[in-house]
């Protein structure tokens, strides 16, 4: 193909964040906002990233060199239990690293031109880096006529997530790649199960609200929860775990009122764990007052909130009246896909 456009959705935690750290399950949803990558073959790589407003040109050799160095640094980091050197190199060479790793694994022999656009908010816990990785793997493999299973696309994206996070759970890239809802449980290996059979439909009428850049990192917020008194923490973790199991049941029954109730239970317990903010509390209270549901997503401390009301117009009006900027998005949307392709093989 001369030119291929692929897209992948972002993700949000429907329920189970934080408690997942203590071995409880979580449900991660592909969300109806996507990263799109348009690829064509080229000898010299060029990436025009409209999402981040940056543009870079670099040789295939340079990109492969970065990927090899990152592979080495990951192994060293794993031994030392400290990935900081790898994180630094990855951050400084992000686009080269993504392209380099994909060219390396696919053994393309040549380079690519990529155009990237996104309707995800970067750094908001929406899996924008995982979605970019997944879409880029799919677009580049297609443009080189290399057939890849979804599992293989997911696996390459996971290798990129390892450069970004050291030892990530793999839940984000799975949601962005396979789409729908993902049942996730930590472990060696983790459980990453698509809920395509249990929940074969899209969850409509959800609204996202960005509540600002979190002041603390995910690691710091996880640590905050760890530092709480064990009894206090464990009782909330148990409620969150039970709510996640119940969530699967009510989703199977397509009972949205119960889904909403469980979202509110999750928010209450996440607040008690100390990962909410005044702005999030305020929004969740107002949305509950009109009979809806609202919860923080992911680590918390700001970031994206997930809201739902049977009457989404009413929900959107309530949020706008508060000065927020609601974004409509379905959950459980399709995973990575080819949007279009032009030219011959």
**Contact map string, positions 206 to 225, toward ligand PMV, x by CB under 6 A:** ------------x---x---
Q: How far is the CB of 216 from ligand PMV (least distance, A)?
A: 11
Which of the stretches 15-23, 96-104, 190-198, 336-344 binds ligand PMV when contact is defined by CB under 6 A? 15-23
Strand 54-58 and strand 45-49: pairing? antiparallel
Q: Considering the rule CB under 6 A, would residue 46 count as an interface residue with ligand PMV?
A: no
Strand 111-118 and strand 45-49: pairing? parallel
Q: Considering the rule CB under 6 A, would residue 175 count as an interface residue with ligand PMV?
A: no
Of positions 20, 35, 137, 203, contacts ligand PMV by CB under 6 A? 20
In this structure, what token pair is assigned to residue 28?
Answer: 């991660």
Sequence-distant (6+) residues with CB within 8 A of 292 are: 260, 307, 308, 309, 310, 314, 315, 318
Of positions 299, 305, 315, 336, contacts ligand PMV by CB under 6 A? 299
- Is the alpha carbon torsion for 236, 26, 197, 292 positive or negative? positive
Kindly calculate the radius of gyration of the chain based on its CA atoms and give it in whole angstroms.
Answer: 20
Q: Compare residues 89 and 222 and give the one whose CB is closer to ligand PMV.
A: 222
Q: Considering the rule CB under 6 A, would residue 265 count as an interface residue with ligand PMV?
A: no
Buried b (16+ CB within 10 A) or exposed e, 206-231: bbbbbbeebeeebeebbebbeeeeee
**Contact map string, positions 326 to 345, toward ligand PMV, x by CB under 6 A:** --------------------
Q: Considering the rule CB under 6 A, would residue 228 count as an interface residue with ligand PMV?
A: no
Q: How far is the CB of 63 from ligand PMV (least distance, A)?
A: 27
What are residue 310's phi and psi, to 5 degrees? -55, -35
Instruction: Count CA within 13 A, CB hemisphere, residue 41.
Output: 15
Q: Compare residues 299 and 307 and give the one whose CB is closer to ligand PMV.
A: 299
Contacts with ligand PMV by CB under 6 A lie at: 17-18, 20-21, 125, 169, 218, 222, 298-299
């Amino acid at each position: 193909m001369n030119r291929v456009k692929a897209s992948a959705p972002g993700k949000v935690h429907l329920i189970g964040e934080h408690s997942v750290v203590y071995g409880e399950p979580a449900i991660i949803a592909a969300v109806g906002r996507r990263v799109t990558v348009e690829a064509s073959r080229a000898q010299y790589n060029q990436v025009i990233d409209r999402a981040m407003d940056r543009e870079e040109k670099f040789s295939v050799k340079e990109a492969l060199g970065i990927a090899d160095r990152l592979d080495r640094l990951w192994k060293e980091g794993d031994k030392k239990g400290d990935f900081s050197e790898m994180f630094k190199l990855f951050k400084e060479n992000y686009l080269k690293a993504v392209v380099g790793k994909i060219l390396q694994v696919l053994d393309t022999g040549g380079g690519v031109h990529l155009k990237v656009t996104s309707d995800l908010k970067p750094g908001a816990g929406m899996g924008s880096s995982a979605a970019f990785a997944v879409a880029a793997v799919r677009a580049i493999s297609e443009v080189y006529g290399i057939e890849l299973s979804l599992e293989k696309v997911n696996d390459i994206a996971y290798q990129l997530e390892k450069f970004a996070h050291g030892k990530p759970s793999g839940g984000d890239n799975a949601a962005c790649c396979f789409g729908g809802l993902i049942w996730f449980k930590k472990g060696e290996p983790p459980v990453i199960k698509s809920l395509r059979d249990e929940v074969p439909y899209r969850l409509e009428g959800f609204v996202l609200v960005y509540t600002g850049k979190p002041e603390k990192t995910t690691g710091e917020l996880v640590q905050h929860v760890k530092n709480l008194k064990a009894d206090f923490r464990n009782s909330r973790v148990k409620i969150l775990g039970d709510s996640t199991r119940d969530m699967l049941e009510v989703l199977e029954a397509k009972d949205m009122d119960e889904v909403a109730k469980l979202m509110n239970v999750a928010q209450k317990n996440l607040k008690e764990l100390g990962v909410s903010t005044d702005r999030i509390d305020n929004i969740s209270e107002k949305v509950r007052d009109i009979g809806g549901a609202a919860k923080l997503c992911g680590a918390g401390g700001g970031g994206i909130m997930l809201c739902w009301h049977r009457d989404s117009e009413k929900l959107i009006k309530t949020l706008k009246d508060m000065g927020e900027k609601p974004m409509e998005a379905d959950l459980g949307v399709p995973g990575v896909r080819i949007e279009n392709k032009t030219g011959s093989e």
